[in-house]
Amino acid sequence: MSPRHIRHGFPWVYDNELVTDRRSRAIAPGTIGLLEDAERNPVALVAINPNSRIMARVLDRDTGAEIGRAWIEARLLRAFDLRSRLFEAPYYRLVHAEADGLPGVIIDRFGDVAVIQPNAAWAEAMIEVLSEALVAVTGVSTVIKNASGRARSLEGLDEESAVLRGAAPDGPLAVPMNGATYMADLMGGQKTGIFYDQRPNHAFAARFAPGARVLDVFSHVGGFSLAALAGGAESAVAVDGSEPALALAEAGAAAMGAEARFATRRGDAFAQLEALAAEGESFDVVICDPPAFAPTKKALDRGLRAYERVARLAAPLVREGGLLGLCSCSHAADLGAFRGASVRGIGRAGREARLIHTGFAGPDHPMHPQLAESGYLKALFFAL
């Protein structure tokens, strides 16, 4: 990595790209430092973590900047202004890490509550300042720190979540999205409690919902199925391995008055797809939104085989002329590789398909133009 890449906007410096010594290796994780080139010219202010493969994260290329509350508030205000233009209601991802100028920081907003994932050591070290700035910019009364996830372990951080401001919600919160109501468990659910990134893809699939029978596999809290019910589906079935997630999906359907049209099946998704085929079931719309099968490059081949298997098992369940939606949140599997695996699986199932739409994460999940990892989500919709 050359200084030119940093000056042109690349936000990371790996440990094997830096000249370090015993003193620099002893720097406390989260320390703010000055990155210099070989000629000792200043390049950027960086957050340092000797315990991470990403040893330096660029905070500001203005080396005269002061990284404190005012700096954080300015970044938050920029992110807040963008979301306020995009969404009428305050339910969205407020900060999407590097793409919003706050490396390693995820903040999701749920009305009067915000959930922070400080996935970089500098954010963990400045969590109180970050929390204060968040309240000042948005006016939320409750701030929760969610410390779960693989990203924090890669930074050498703990898994201790906490309520930083206000009081923990008394049970799941209702989240309106695409006309549906989702129930988010902000204290015990996956990630921050709900996945906002699929919002535009939920909306696209819901166009095919009126009068349809819908199958939502790897449903989590009912992402595609509840949007389909809001869109006029005759019925929807959610399949997931998590009993708590399915309970939240059922609560969401009940909050919408759609419980009579909603059913769940708990179990391994692959086994459930096979069982539904054995039962002779068919659906007008089938959506599969699995977890990341290829979270790293080492897992890519195995992950692509898993995506192909999902497509092969799901395609036979789609009625003639129906819609099959296949999703991937694996940044290691780029769009071309994922599309290839999906098409192979559909072909192996003996079905013919037209790819009618390719979807990505919503605009509250901006992509850093020089960081492919920030454009992780792909959604392919086929007419079979």
Q: Which of 329, 341, 353, 367 is flagged as catalytic?
A: 329
Place of tokens 């905070």: 59
State the first-to-last Cα distance of the chain, in angstroms, to the nearest integer: 45
Q: 222: phi > 0 → left, psi -120 to 50 → alpha, else beta; which?
A: left
**How far, in Å, are 63, 73, 261 from residue 343 at the CA level?**
48, 46, 31
- Provide the 10 A C-beta neighbour count for residue 60: 16
* CA neighbor of 201 nearest in space, from 353, 22, 328, 317: 328
Specify whether 327 is catalytic.
Answer: no
Rounded distance, CA 193 to CA 144, Å? 11
Contact 223, 195 (CB under 8 A): yes
**How would DSSP label each residue in 307-335?**
HHHHHHHHGGGEEEEEEEEEEE--TTS-H
The SS3 call for residue 119 is coil
Beta partners for 383? Answer: 323, 354
Which string of b and e fits 224-253 if b means at least 16 CB within 10 Å?
bbbbbbbbebebbbbbbebeebbbbbbbbb
Q: Which positions are catalytic? A: 329
